[in-house]
Amino acid sequence: MPDEQLPAEESLAQTLQRCWPAVQQHALPVLQAGGTVLLVGHGNALRALTAHLEQLTAHQVQGLVLPTGVPAPTGGRTGDGHSASLDVPGTLSGL
């Protein structure tokens, strides 16, 4: 896509729409087989994925803090009821 067609900004919903297909294709099969996956990305992509996996409300997402360089596993779901098993104590506390 040419640079001039790229959006100047994107919402969490747009970020999730862009990132989720890669997670479905590459990460979910590993998780569903009982494996472990490390997702690395920029803040907004990780916030969108965490919000989706953890099924957070819009209010909860506002308080979501994902510190830079700190692993933040989640106990979310893969979409078919399997645990995503991606939990650093305190990362999602207070939500």
Question: In the chain, where are the structural domains located?
Answer: 9-95
| Tens of each residue's pLDDT in the chain, 95 residues | 788 877 788 889 999 999 999 999 998 888 888 888 888 888 889 999 988 888 889 899 888 888 888 887 765 554 444 444 443 333 333 33
Q: Buried b vs exposed e over 13-39: b needs ≥16 C-beta within 10 Å? A: eebbeebbeebeeebbeebeeeeeeeb
Instruction: Tell me the pTM.
Output: 0.66
